[in-house]
Chain A
């Protein structure tokens, strides 16, 4: 791939981002390629050093705030005609309610996901409380002279303590996974906006 082809592909990939961001990134890569060619590298080598266009685009999309992308998407390229505006207003009870319903469904699913994570942490806290409570109760039972009960409670609290340790790692991994999923969803939503823009 030569420099021109690389920059054309990159511009296409970044087309959903604000115009000044696109120009700034393109001039950065253009300068990097020129500098490497000046050092004696071939054009192909200099382009290859920049990395795959897809990766650059993915990183750029991830770094750009959603608001900036949405702003560009919402901004109309040309003024809407009277007919289109009228249609948009008259149809608003349908598209607006459908849009809001779809948004509410997605939001609910996301909330459910976090609710599961909160439940897992609640299980972790309960197990921990059982472990501590079990030890205290076994002491009380021992003082009262119920040796067998005290022993059983101590054994149960040890089991609870073991489960608490396991639950902690499980909850930590699930929370981390949820954060990563959130990041991926954000990138996907941004890319959807960008693809619509390209179409």
Chain B
């Protein structure tokens, strides 16, 4: 898969994992596992990139006597998910056309 496309997909997947409520590193990986396997180092990179681009914010809270980082999606992050959904609708309609052409040739 194209590197840029994969990077964009992974970013949106992480944003989707925190869309319905703040989450933390391990939970994000766990929630994504049925759909996508992601290494911890890759997740770190994506979280950092999304934080720097203003798609999410980070807060530190106490949990079980230790500190844990929680990630919160921003409006820019929610906007990115909406953009992705719109872009994907277009891609899917093109895909349907391509598949239909293939079926017609067989």
Q: What is the minimal beta-carbon distance from A130 to any residue of chain B, in angstroms? A: 33
Does A5 interact with chain B (Cβ within 8 Å)? no
Using A28-B25, A31-B69 as known contacts, say yes or no to A63 and B40 having CB atoms under 8 A apart: no
Does A197 interact with chain B (Cβ within 8 Å)? no
B25 adjacent to A35 (CB under 8 Å): yes
Most B-side CB within 10 Å, residue of A31, A36, A38: A31
A51 adjacent to B40 (CB under 8 Å): yes
Q: What is the minimal beta-carbon distance from B28 to any residue of chain A, in angstroms? A: 10
B40 adjacent to A32 (CB under 8 Å): yes
Which B residues touch A32, using CB under 8 A?
25-26, 40
13 further interface pairs, Cβ-Cβ under 8 Å (given A32-B25, A35-B25, A63-B45): A28-B25, A28-B40, A29-B40, A31-B25, A31-B26, A31-B67, A31-B68, A32-B40, A34-B66, A35-B68, A51-B39, A51-B41, A59-B41
Which A residues touch B64, using CB under 8 A?
38
Does A158 interact with chain B (Cβ within 8 Å)? no
Does A7 interact with chain B (Cβ within 8 Å)? no
Does A50 interact with chain B (Cβ within 8 Å)? yes
Q: What is the minimal beta-carbon distance from B62 to any residue of chain A, in angstroms? A: 12
Does A22 interact with chain B (Cβ within 8 Å)? no
Does A25 interact with chain B (Cβ within 8 Å)? yes
One digit per residue, 1 when the CB lies within 8 angstroms of any chain B CB and 0 when it does not, for chain A 18-52 equals: 00000001011101101110110000000001110
Q: What is the minimal beta-carbon distance from B36 to any residue of chain A, in angstroms? A: 16
Most A-side CB within 10 Å, residue of B24, B26, B42, B69: B26
18 sampled A-B residue pairs with Cβ under 8 A? A25-B44, A28-B25, A28-B69, A31-B26, A31-B69, A32-B25, A32-B40, A35-B25, A35-B27, A35-B68, A39-B26, A50-B40, A50-B41, A55-B41, A56-B41, A59-B42, A59-B45, A63-B45
